Amino acid sequence: MVVKIDQIALQRLLGSTSRAPRWAIAFKYPPEEVTTRLLGIQVNVGRTGRVTPFAVMEPVKVSGSTVDRATLHNADEVKRKGVLIGDMVILRKAGDVIPEVLGPVADLRTGDEREYVYPTHCPSCGTRLAREEAEVDWRCPNTRACPAQLRERLFHLAGRGAFDIEVLGYEAVSALLDCGLVTDEGDLFALTAERLETCPFFMVKQGTLSANATRLLVNLEQARTRPLWRILVALSIRHVGPTAARALAAEFGSLDAIEEASADALAAVDGVGPTIAASLREWFAEDWHRAIVGKWNDAGVRLADPDFDPARAAARLLAGVSVVITGTLAGFSRDEAGEAVRQAGGKVTSSVSKKTSFVVAGENAGSKYDKAAELGVPILDEAAFRVLLEQGPDAAAPAG
């Protein structure tokens, strides 16, 4: 059963994630549960360095398919579930799709089970793992040289949500790395028929390029003109998924503009926020990241959307600025004033805090005016509000 909010205006207000609408939810029958033996726990190193444990089990059929692997998410989750290697465990498919270990069948323990010891070093490159404060994930900090991370990033950028390079699967990626044809993502678009001919994986017995190798070159040529948001996804910037990438591309229009934007300007984009903004600034601060972008640019990859209107830059006049509107304005309704701020790239909030940039106060402003005065937040009348919209925060800020 699917429950939906049926008012279109509310649907638009709630919006959607990259995977599902926020205005609908599905209720399903309880998933089928089975038991099987947990043979071991291994870890996988992802494209951003995240080290994820997964269960290796005796194959068992559940919800129509045979399963022998299931993610355990992180070290804390392994402890929470209380599973030991050798346990009989309860398995199901979350949402009838993703295999999930629920926990052990403690009554069936024999005493031979043993606790899993989480690795202290990356299984791919040997670098000591690290965990940031307030994070649950352990990560390999060797972002540039870890073979597992590079392989995962290459596989990711070939995906449908990024460059959509159809024939660049795991085997092809591994072959490119093993043959030394690429050392990082930047080398991908420098591949030629002559270079592929040096790698046996891309050749047939007759000594010519395989059909997949030829298709790879065609796919790469097509990928050079992908939209900007796909390029952002392909770069494997932490926290930047399709939703944030689309918002950034629509707001800035080019990779250069995104690189040059301040953290406040990035965070002001609807759907981005401070976490993604900080991640973007950190990513572009790395020389080798910028070198990848440079290689793509030299290879003819289009790093700007051709239909972007440069006039949109004016709409970022209030990037990073948060405004509270209170009281009655003569020339604006409350909705019109809020929309004017948003059109200029600012944010409209409902409560006053130390982080508020300006309070726009009309007649009968009330408690929000008092709160702004108490916190020292700049207070603007309607005339100053118009200056803010037309000339920016520096021109509107009260003297002194």
Pair 344, 318: CB distance under 8 Å? yes
Q: Note the pLDDT of residue 184.
A: 94
Position of tokens 């008092």? 370
CA distances from 317 to 256, 340, 393 (A): 18, 11, 8
Position of tokens 């629509």? 250
**Edge-to-edge strands of the sheet including 379-380?**
347-348, 322-326, 358-361, 379-380
Q: Note the pLDDT of residue 350.
A: 84
- Other C-beta atoms closer than 10 Å to the C-beta of 222 total 13
DSSP-derived pairing of the beta strands 51-62 and 2-4: unpaired
Please give the Cα distance from 88 to 55 (Å, whole number). 12
Q: Note the pLDDT of residue 394.
A: 84
Output the tens digit of pLDDT for each of the chain's 400 residues: 999 999 988 888 888 776 788 999 998 888 899 999 999 999 999 999 999 999 999 999 998 899 999 999 999 999 999 999 999 999 999 877 899 999 999 999 999 999 999 999 999 999 999 998 888 999 999 999 999 999 999 999 999 899 999 899 999 999 999 999 999 999 999 999 999 999 999 999 998 999 999 999 999 999 999 999 999 999 999 999 998 998 899 889 999 999 999 998 899 887 888 999 999 999 999 999 999 999 999 999 999 998 887 665 555 678 778 899 999 999 898 888 888 887 777 888 888 998 899 999 998 888 899 999 999 999 999 999 999 988 888 888 876 5
- Other C-beta atoms closer than 10 Å to the C-beta of 331 total 11
Q: Note the pLDDT of residue 80.
A: 94
pTM value?
0.71
Q: Note the pLDDT of residue 227.
A: 93
Q: Note the pLDDT of residue 260.
A: 93
Please give the Cα distance from 179 to 199 (Å, whole number). 6
Please give the Cα distance from 258 to 260 (Å, whole number). 5
Q: Note the pLDDT of residue 175.
A: 96
Find the length of the chain.
Answer: 400
Q: Note the pLDDT of residue 270.
A: 77
